[in-house]
Amino acid sequence: MILQKLLAALIFSMLVSLALIGGIASAQQPTPSDDQVNAIAKQLYCPVCENIPLDVCPTTACAQWRELIREKLAEGWTEQQIKDYFVSQYGARVLGTPPARGINWLVYLVPPIAILAGAYVLYNAFRSWKKPPGAETIQAPGESTPGKKDASEDEYIRRLEDELKKH
């Protein structure tokens, strides 16, 4: 009888010890902070609202999805696993950055190509605006290039001198 009581007390104390150890172990696992949750939520878009990141969406559904992210982080899920989970549930439209496959490659290729093409066009435009080498310089009035007289300039000067003589 005493042996049974001793055995029962020993089993009971072992169970209590295991419960305490399990509670301490689970208490040591920190709850993910809002910053950790928002770091992931910022990269996801609300599946219900149009073009609103999950971290700033005020709807109840988004608050629940942020809590789901918190739970997944507490369970030890990685950022990529959480993103994959949301994509499997709601499609690739929830991702802030489209995956680089299929036609989505254009999102990554077109802007740099457009920037390079624009730089090339501007370079050529600036080059053509520059004065070409060997172009004649503008001369002060009364100066003339030796051996070169413009007939319209001579006519203008003659008429000007005639008008000045009249007054």
Q: How confident is the model at residue 117 (pLDDT cuts 50, 70, 90)?
A: very high
Question: In this predicted model, which residue has the larger pLDDT, 138 or 9?
Answer: 9
Q: How confident is the model at residue 3 (pLDDT cuts 50, 70, 90)?
A: low
Instruction: Give the closest residue to 57 by CA, choosing from 46, 73, 65.
Output: 46
Give every CB contact of residue 42 below 8 A, 6+ residues apart in sequence.
53, 54, 55, 96
Q: What gap in Å lies between CA 27 and CA 34, rounded to an integer?
A: 18
Among the ranges given (58-62, 89-93, 143-147), the one the predictor scored with the smallest mean pLDDT: 143-147
Compute the mean pLDDT over every residue in the chain, rounded to the nearest whole number.
Answer: 77
User: CA 13 from chain center: how many Å?
Assistant: 57
Q: Are 83 and 89 in contact, with CB atoms under 8 Å apart? A: no
Flag whether pLDDT at 10 surpasses 70.
no
Flag whether pLDDT at 89 surpasses 60.
yes
Regarding pTM above 0.85, the answer is: no
Q: What gap in Å lies between CA 32 and CA 71, rounded to an integer?
A: 8
Percent of the chain predicted with pLDDT > 70: 69
Give every CB contact of residue 83 below 8 A, 6+ residues apart in sequence.
40, 43, 44, 95
Average pLDDT of 107-136?
81
- Furthest-apart CA pair in the chain: how many Å? 149
Provide the 3-class DSSP secondary structure of residue 144: coil
**Domains of the chain in sequence order:** 29-97 (1.10.8.640)
Average pLDDT of 36-60?
84
Q: What gap in Å lies between CA 107 and CA 24, rounded to an integer?
A: 49
